[in-house]
Each structure stands twice: as C-alpha cells, then as structure tokens.
Structure 1
Amino acid sequence: MSDNLKQIVYISSAEHPFSDDELETMLGAIRQKNEAAGVTGMLLYKDGDFIQVIEGEEDILDPLFKSICQDNRHYGVVELMRKTIIERQFKDWSMGFHHLREDDPRLEGFIRFFDDNPEHEIDPGEALNLLLVFRE
C-alpha cells in the first residue's frame, strides 16, 4: 500500500441549480477522468450544495483538487479534511453520487450540511460520516 494515498473532503455551492440532465452529464465526464486517473470518491448534491470526498495518490489528487477549486460550476469551496489513508473508503466508486431530497431519512442529523446558516460549524469527521452513509 502506498504512503501517498490521500483523502480530501470538501463542500461547495453550485453556480446555479443543476438539473438532473446537467448532473448526469457532469458525472459521466468525472467518472471517466477519475477511472483513468485512479481516483475514487462520492459526491452528494442537495438544493445547490455539494459535499464530496475524493481519494487517490497525492500526486494525482493535489492537481485535481486545484482544478476542482477553479471549476466555475461551483463556488465557495471549503476544504474540510485532507488526510493520509491506509485504504480507500470509496474504492468501488469512480464517483458515487446521490441527488438528495429533503425527505431522505438518511439525512437525519446531517441536515445542517445543506443549510445556509454561516454560524453552523461543520465538523470534518461528521462530513465524512455523511458521505459514508450514502456509500452503501
């Protein structure tokens, strides 16, 4: 196992509300690039907000995250966590995805990740736990 395997969790806001077709097109391109680069992860989208985890070799992930930060499809990118990992937690996903709805019972306890209250502190560990809930 590589000492350079990293995991990055971040949140951001969509530049505009994405339609299902736009999300599907975006995900197709992301999955193709990630598979070729050996990147895995999960993306959640709800009402114009994203939370994502990406995993891969450091020399691939660093420029990828820089590119993500410069992508004009979203803004307000906040890196919540960057850590070295022993093994991937999303190894079966070139980019898993869920378009979340308000009534999804799996969101219970996590809804503050998707509100617009700037006073809500986001715990990086809880952010990863939210992503893990949707891994299954």
Structure 2
Amino acid sequence: MSDALTQIVYISSAEHPFTDDELEKMLAAIRMKNEKANVTGMLLYKDGDFIQVIEGEKDVLEPLFKTICEDHRHYGIVELMRKSIVDRQFKDWSMGFHHLKEDDPRLEGFIRFFDDNPEHEIDPGEALNLLLIFRE
C-alpha cells in the first residue's frame, strides 16, 4: 500500500428518507469498516441529502468510493473533489456525523447544498468548508 493520502468530497440523495434508527445502524457499520481501513471523514445528512468527505490512503479510497457509488441506499452521486493531501482534516473521526435541521445556524450560506435546484452550481471548496464547520 502507498502512504499517499487522498480526500474525496461528494454529494448524493438518499433512496428514501432515513429514520434516526437507520442512520445509527448505517453509521455503526461505516465506522467499524473505516477504523479497520484507517479511513476518516465526515457525513452530513439533511432531508434526504448527503454530503460527505472521506480521507485515507489512495489505494484504500479508490475501491471504497467505487463501493459507495454502487450502494443502493443513495443515488445521484456527484464527486465534487478528489485531491492528494498531506494531512488529514478529519483525523479524529472514523466518520463524524451530523443530522442537520433546517434552523441550524451553521447552515447559513450553505443551504443550497441541500436543495434540489439543478441550477445551483456547487463549489467544491465551499462543500469542504461546510464539512469543516461541523468538524468541531
């Protein structure tokens, strides 16, 4: 395995609105797999939409992202960013998670990431900034 770190940011839509129980079960499985594979990241969920960042060795992330893209629980996967990184930005999280509510003040200026308007252009850097806000 190489030690080159990679970071991937993507958005997608849930196949159906997830219940809190479904989210908890999914996260438990993801965290267990990520810990074994030394993958870190953050997942945000709001009203059936996901935005996620994953970080890890390139040789691990490539097949992982392929598996993510084939997962039937979501669709419309759009890879916003894939880049080499020197240091992890989510190193303390096997998979951090926030179930966002409409009135969360941290969403101010970022709500377009969770709307269904195809006219909204999504800036990859802004997507990463949104995820970083929830890192703390």
Distance (whole Å) between structure 2 residues aligned to residue 65 and residue 4 of structure 1 = 16
Deviations 1:51-100 (A, max 9, x none): 00000000000000000000000000000000000000000000000000
**Which residues in structure 2 correspond to 1:6-25 (within 5 Å)?**
6-25=6-25
Q: Identify the residue that residue 130 of structure 1 maps to in structure 2.
A: 130
User: Which whole-Å CA distance do the structure 2 matches of 1:77 and 1:125 have between them?
Assistant: 17
After TM superposition, the score normalised by the length of structure 2 is 0.98
1:17-96 equivalences in 2 (<5 Å): 17-96=17-96
What does residue 109 of structure 1 align with? 109
CA distance in 2, matches of 1:59, 1:46: 30
Structure-1-length-normalised TM-score: 0.98
RMSD: 0.8
**Aligned length, in residue pairs:** 135
Q: In structure 1, what is the Cα distance between the partners aligned to 2:77 and 2:70? A: 9
1:3–1:84 contact (8 Å) kept in structure 2: no
* Displaced runs of 4 or more, over 6 A: none
Deviations 1:32-52 (A, max 9, x none): 000000000000000000000
> Structure 2 regions of 5+ residues with no counterpart?
none
- Determine helix, strand or coil for the equivalent of 1:91: coil
Deviation at 1:4? Answer: 1.2
